[in-house]
Copies of this chain bind each other. A is one copy, B any other.
């Protein structure tokens, strides 16, 4: 299982958490093997893609047997560093931010929202979903103290860049950006961008031009 991670295509890498979660449930239910067809049906990824993805991990299914659940699970667990929890901070406790705080990330996961920030005094010094909310003015101090490496950004678009600018000299190396702002950040910070309007528009485009 000594795979050169950088050889895994990015599209494959994005499916790893999905595979991992499903296999964990299979294993918990006592299942010892699974076919690519069963996996395909359950997670809605076509089976040719699953077989190609798994071949990168050296997992070759056997005809009439399928894949060994335990082997796959231990591979994914190691690959996704399930033993190591990544500490996350959330900035912007509006509706979207509150939804995240109530979402139990830790359950099947290696990430934990440790603290949240907002500029609204009424939200500060509360706990939401078990996560303490601090004032945004304490951002740099708390981020360093709590050793946070990832930020979920759910603030209004007009403050997104100025908040991102405060992350330069902290330990932050990743931003999950839910604002429509395209952020300018130093090279060592990776930004994944999820724009809800773009996702909706893309779905409509695909409905029209790639009929299923």
Q: Which of A's residues lie within 8 Å of B, judged by CB? A: 5-6, 8, 10, 13-14, 16-18, 20-21, 41-44, 79-81, 86, 88, 94-96, 98-100, 102-103, 105, 108-111, 149-150, 152, 173-174, 176, 180, 182-184, 187-210, 212
Contacts and interface: CB of A to CB of B under 8 A. Distances in A.
Contacts of A108: 197
B6 A196 contact: no
Contacts of A79: 205
Contacts of A180: 21
A159 B10 CA distance: 32
Contacts of A210: 6, 10, 13, 190
Chain copies in the assembly? Answer: 2
Given A8-B209, A13-B205, A109-B201, 14 more contacts: A6-B210, A16-B202, A17-B205, A42-B182, A43-B182, A44-B182, A81-B204, A81-B208, A94-B99, A105-B200, A110-B204, A111-B197, A111-B200, A174-B203
15 contacts: A6-B210, A13-B206, A16-B205, A42-B182, A44-B183, A96-B96, A100-B196, A109-B201, A110-B204, A150-B204, A173-B207, A176-B199, A190-B203, A190-B206, A194-B199
